[in-house]
Structures are given as structure tokens and as C-alpha cells.
Structure 1
Amino acid sequence: MKKQLEKAWKEKRPIEIIYVKKDSSISQRTILVYGVTDTYIKAQCLKKKQPRIFKVDSILAASFQSKTYKLYA
């Protein structure tokens, strides 16, 4: 899964993740990855249109999306 996140970062492709939030609920988001470390993923959440940081250990699944998004600078 970490390889998919790194590929999304390098190719600047949106990726959908399913993760466990701090309150133990499950959430699904489509993100653009801006950085990957051993512990965290820095990304732009396309749903909230805000930067987010996700713990790698909290991500349950990641998959590429076929949709294209228009990026605003």
C-alpha cells in the first residue's frame, strides 16, 4: 500500500484511501499526496479541499481512481 501512495505522489495522481480516524470511525477520502514518510502522508483532501496529514498505520486501503480532477493553483 505504501508503494501505491508513493506512486500517487510521484505521478501526481489522485488516490482513494480508507482509514481509521482518531475517534475509531472509518472514513473514505480521495487525496492528492504531497509527501510520504515512514509515519505520515501529507495530502490535499479533495472532499474537504484542505490539506491533511494521515498516519500510514491508520490507512486500511488505497486505490487509484479513474476520475480526473481540475487542480487550482
Structure 2
Amino acid sequence: MKAQVLKAFKYQQLIDMMYIANDGTISKRRVKILKVSGDSFQAYCFLRREKRHFKIDHVLSCMPVQVKERQIV
């Protein structure tokens, strides 16, 4: 999972991730990674609308957000 997090940070991509908290609750979050340090990272969480700290080991899955452009024909 660390490789995907580092890649999203490098290319400044938004990611959708499934995350398990310390108490065992699972949530789906859309985040933009701001800083990676060791086994954790800081990101802006669009669910909570604030900067949050996450442990890389607690990320269950992550996918880059695909942005579709609309065209007027």
C-alpha cells in the first residue's frame, strides 16, 4: 500500500481509500496527500473537511480518482 500512497503523493492525485481506524471502524474517504513521513501521512480529508493523519498500515485499499472532462459538442 505504501507504493500507491507514495505514487499518489508524487503526482498530487486525489485518492479514494478504505481505511480502518484504531477502534475497528471502516470508512471510505477521499483524500489529497500533503506529506508522507515514515509509516504515516498527512492528508486533506474531504469527508471531515480538515487535515488528518493516517497510518499507511491502516489503509485497506486505495484508487486514484478519475476526473472526467465534459465536452460540449
Same fold, TM-score > 0.5, yes or no: yes
Unmatched segments (≥5 aa) in structure 1: 69-73
Q: Identity over the aligned pairs, expressed in percent?
A: 29
In structure 2, stretches of 5+ residues that fail to align are 69-73
Structure possessing the higher radius of gyration over alpha carbons: 2
Cα distance in 1, alignment partners of residues 25 and 67 from structure 2: 26
Q: In the TM superposition, what is the alpha-carbon distance from 1:60 to its structure 2 partner? A: 0.7
Shift of 1:37: 2.4
- Cross-structure match for 1:65: 65
The one-letter code matched in structure 2 to 1:17 is: M
Whole-Å Cα distance in 2 between the matches of residues 57 and 3 of structure 1? Answer: 12
TM-score between the two structures when normalised by the length of structure 1: 0.82
* TM-score normalised by length of structure 2: 0.82
Q: 1:3 deviation in Å?
A: 1.3
Structure 1's consecutive aligned runs of 4 or more residues displaced over 4 angstroms after TM superposition are none
After superposition, where does 1:20-35 map in structure 2 within 5 Å?
20-35=20-35
What amino acid does structure 2 have at the position aligned with 1:43?
Answer: A
Q: How many Å separate the matches in 2 of 1:37 and 1:17?
A: 18
Cα distance in 2 between the residues matched to 1:27 and 1:67: 22
**In structure 2, what is the Cα distance between the partners aligned to 1:47 and 1:26?**
13
